[in-house]
């Protein structure tokens, strides 16, 4: 329950105006509850209407995306770009292609992105975009035409100093390539307008691996500092089998863990002896098939179509890397009952508020998404730097910078948790540390702009 009058009033306003946007409301509520300990010390925030401005995107663009499928039929989807907050840099954040995309999803993602980007220490504002397009089962040609149509409109609103999109669910290297090609065609300029580009044409080494690797670097740092522990010998479960999940598995394994369960939209597999990551990569990244198909090739693997069953597997560390609200209260209780002592989020807002409560009550070490998955966007920031410098850094150099950024994010979140009187509560710490920098920049830059 929020006691601070200003926070309570603005939250009520969001409920009145955006009550039909449950994910957005969930994201705002979490941040507002977390920042309560610092509000009393900052009367200037209320005087400057910081909270009211923070919950209202600077701009929300919604557009028609029409394209022609392989059968010659015209298809129409809805495209979005939310330019949420530019207080500390150009808007920055991914593009999501998924049938569930709507205004609430895009706004929750853009709102969270603002604080995540602030935590990275790099000069990036918050943005997010996407479309309710379902890439599943679409041919390469259909994906290309969709991306081109999407970019035809989006190109009017973005630019290397204005707004720099990247990938997210359903958008990887292939889609970024098609969108970059279309932007270049329309504008006749080769600039760092997107991140996650191919290595031969302006992309950064490590960007593909960065979210998953960064998640493990952050987890490693928290385990070391708070528990004098590590990944060594731990049983890990990972949800999702996409970009974030696969490279989280890779780094966790490299650091000595055994990945005993993994999932995708088709179900989950359990393999107490450890998954075959090369086979997962082949099935998911190269062949674009399902975990169901993986299980058929692994006689020892147990497969189940109940995706949530993943959370009932005995494990030490859980890394949810699929999608929002994939982990509910019951799943959190199952994790606790089966020995899980740490959960770090790779996906955005994967845990419901009830799940977070259950985990924290049980003493599970909890790493909130906007801190623990910030490695992806941080490396996007490094890609922007390299583009501006017209240079490419080596894998080792980018990886080292990523490690240092994740360490710094952990330190800032932990220090803020101490200042708020809840040492080790990384959710409060991350929200407070991310918020203060954006709020101060908004005050400094004045109200009208």
Which positions are catalytic? 128
In the bound state with ligand 2IT, the residue whose beta carbon lies nearer, of 51 and 374, is: 374
Q: Which residue is nearest to ligand NDP (CB)?
A: 242
Piece of the chain touching ligand NDP by CB under 6 A; list 26-34, 321-329, 415-423, 435-443: 321-329
Piece of the chain touching ligand NDP by CB under 6 A; list 41-49, 74-82, 184-192, 317-325: 317-325
Stated as kind and residue range, the H or E segment containing 264 is strand 258-264
Separation CA 205–CA 34 (nearest Å): 35
Select the binding partner of residue 93 from ligand NDP, ligand 2IT, none (C-beta < 5 to 8 A, by kind). ligand 2IT
Closest residue by Cα to residue 399 from 391, 407, 390: 407
Told to check if 27 binds ligand 2IT by CB under 6 A, we report no
Cβ–Cβ under 8 Å, residues 262 and 284? no
Separation CA 436–CA 115 (nearest Å): 9
Rounded (to 5) percent helix, strand, coil in the chain:
50, 15, 35
Told to check if 370 binds ligand 2IT by CB under 6 A, we report no
Told to check if 243 binds ligand NDP by CB under 6 A, we report yes
- The least distance separating ligand NDP from the CB of residue 373, rounded to whole angstroms, comes to 4
Start-to-end Cα distance in the chain = 34
Q: What secondary structure does DSSP assign to 291-319, as a single string?
A: HHHHHHT-TT-EEES-GGGGGGS--SEEE
Told to check if 377 binds ligand 2IT by CB under 6 A, we report yes
Select the binding partner of residue 326 from ligand NDP, ligand 2IT, none (C-beta < 5 to 8 A, by kind). ligand NDP
Cβ–Cβ under 8 Å, residues 5 and 88? no
Piece of the chain touching ligand NDP by CB under 6 A; list 53-61, 81-89, 166-174, 415-423: 166-174
CA angle 277, 283, 289 (to 5 degrees): 140
Separation CA 367–CA 343 (nearest Å): 6
47: exposed, middle or buried (Cβ count in 10 Å: 0-12, 13-18, 19+): exposed
Told to check if 241 binds ligand NDP by CB under 6 A, we report yes
Among 21, 380, 417, 425, binds ligand 2IT (CB under 6 A): 380
Which positions from 78 through 107 interact with ligand 2IT, judged by CB under 6 A? 92-94
In the bound state with ligand 2IT, the residue whose beta carbon lies nearer, of 106 and 262, is: 106
Binding site for ligand 2IT (CB under 6 A): 92-94, 113, 116, 166, 168, 195, 348, 376-377, 380
Binding site for ligand NDP (CB under 6 A): 167-170, 172, 211, 239-245, 263-266, 290, 307, 321-323, 326, 346-348, 373, 376
């Amino acid at each position: 329950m929020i006691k601070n009058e200003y926070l309570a009033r603005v939250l009520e306003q969001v409920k009145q105006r955006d009550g039909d946007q449950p994910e957005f409301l969930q994201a705002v509520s979490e941040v507002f509850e977390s920042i309560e300990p610092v509000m009393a010390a900052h009367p200037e925030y209320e005087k400057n209407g910081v909270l009211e401005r923070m919950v209202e995107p600077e701009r929300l663009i919604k557009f028609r995306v029409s394209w022609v499928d392989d059968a010659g039929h015209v298809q129409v989807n809805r495209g979005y770009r939310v330019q949420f907050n530019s207080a500390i840099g150009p808007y920055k954040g991914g593009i999501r292609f998924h049938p569930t995309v709507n205004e609430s999803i895009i706004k929750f993602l853009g709102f969270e992105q603002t604080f995540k980007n602030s935590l990275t220490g790099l000069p990036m504002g918050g943005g997010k975009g996407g479309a309710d397009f379902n890439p599943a089962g679409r041919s390469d040609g259909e994906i290309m035409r969709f991306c081109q149509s999407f970019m035809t409109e989006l190109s009017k609103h973005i630019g290397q100093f204005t707004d720099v999109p990247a990938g997210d669910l359903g958008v990887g290297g292939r889609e970024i390539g098609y969108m970059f090609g279309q932007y270049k065609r329309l504008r006749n300029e080769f600039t760092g307008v997107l991140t996650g580009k191919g290595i031969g044409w302006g992309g950064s080494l490590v960007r593909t691996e960065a979210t998953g690797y960064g998640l493990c670097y952050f987890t490693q740092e928290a385990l070391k500092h708070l528990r004098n522990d590590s990944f060594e010998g731990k049983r890990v479960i990972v949800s999702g089998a996409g970009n974030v999940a696969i490279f989280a598995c890779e780094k966790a394994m490299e650091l000595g863990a055994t990945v005993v369960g993994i999932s995708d939209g088709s179900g989950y597999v359990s393999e107490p002896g450890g998954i075959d990551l090369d086979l997962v990569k082949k099935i998911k990244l190269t062949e674009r098939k399902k975990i169901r198909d993986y299980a058929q090739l692994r006689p020892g693997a147990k497969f189940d179509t109940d995706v949530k069953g993943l959370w009932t597997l005995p494990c030490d560390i859980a890394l949810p890397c699929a999608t929002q609200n994939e982990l509910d209260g019951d799943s959190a209780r199952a994790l606790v009952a089966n020995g899980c002592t740490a959960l770090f989020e790779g996906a955005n807002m994967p845990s419901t508020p009830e799940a977070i409560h259950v985990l924290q009550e049980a003493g599970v070490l909890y790493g909130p998404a906007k801190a623990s998955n910030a490695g992806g966007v941080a490396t996007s920031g490094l890609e922007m730097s390299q583009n501006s410098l017209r240079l490419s850094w080596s894998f080792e150099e980018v990886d080292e910078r990523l490690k240092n950024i994740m360490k710094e994010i952990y330190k800032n979140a932990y220090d803020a948790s101490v200042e708020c009187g809840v040492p080790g509560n990384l959710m409060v710490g991350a929200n407070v540390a991310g918020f203060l920098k954006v709020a101060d920049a908004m005050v400094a830059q004045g109200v009208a702009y």
